[in-house]
Amino acid sequence: MEYKRILLKLSGESLMGSQGYGIDPDRLASYASQIRQAAQEGVEIGIVIGGGNIFRGLSGASKGFDRVKGDQMGMLATVINSLALSSALEAIGQPARVFTAIPMFPIGEPYSKWKAIEAMRRGEVAIISGGTGNPYFTTDTGAALRAVEIEADVMLKGTRVDGVYTADPEKDPEAVKFDSISYDEVLARGLKVMDLTATALCKENSMPVYVFNMDVEGNLHKMLSGNNVGTLVHK
């Protein structure tokens, strides 16, 4: 395997699958199967999953919710998704442990770097929920923070597109995909790989980010085996 320890950031929106809301059981099962395969091959796995399939704090704020309360609702949405993923993993024989950024026992264990690393070394998937535990931070920033904290070799950003393009490939048919790109070029071109806080955090801590389409079955294994199925963002 190309990497020994990874932080996999999953999109809450992708978890909807073909539905307009909530969790698609087939998409959940696909994610669980791919993650289990990677764990069985010796990769230590931390996961951060978004909550946009249930509630987004920022869009809630635009509809009249208090921003802090909206973000807290979004944090709870990530906990729901994390519990669903841990259940799907355990159902196919892959041990998983849910950590929460804010105390929420017995729903999850309070997160600490050392407990998460200890779990991963035992072969458990460490699912780290609740974002950073603070409002005004996205789950991309939460994922970047956890990737740096758990000393991951790479942060994998599983999205519904197969990498970073010169423009939005869903809107511009002439958009060209990068095989690799530096953080400086991402910032100079104004490409929306992640929000600025997450990008700066990864850049400052020399954390590479690999953007790929997690919704294609087998892509996680291909990426970890060294195949180019996305875009590497590096310092």
Domain 5-234 has CATH 3.40.50.300: no
Question: How confident is the model at residue 64, as a pLDDT?
Answer: 78
Residues in CB range of 66: below 8 A, 6 or more apart: none
Q: What is the DSSP letter of 47?
A: E
Percent helix, strand and coil across the chain, each to the nearest 5: 40, 20, 40
Among the listed residues 216, 207, 210, the one whose alpha carbon sits nearest the alpha carbon of residue 235: 207
Chain segment 15-54, per-residue pLDDT in tens: 998 888 999 999 999 999 999 999 999 999 999 999 999 9
Sites in the chain below the pLDDT cut of 50:
none
Measuring CA to CA, which residue among 85, 195, 80 is closest to residue 140? 195
Predicted local confidence at residue 124, as pLDDT: 98
pTM of the shown model: 0.94
Distance, in Å, from the CA atom of 48 to the CA atom of 185, rounded to the nearest integer, reads 26
Burial string for 211-234 (b: 16+ CB within 10 Å, else e) reads bbbbbeeebbbebbeeeebbbbbb
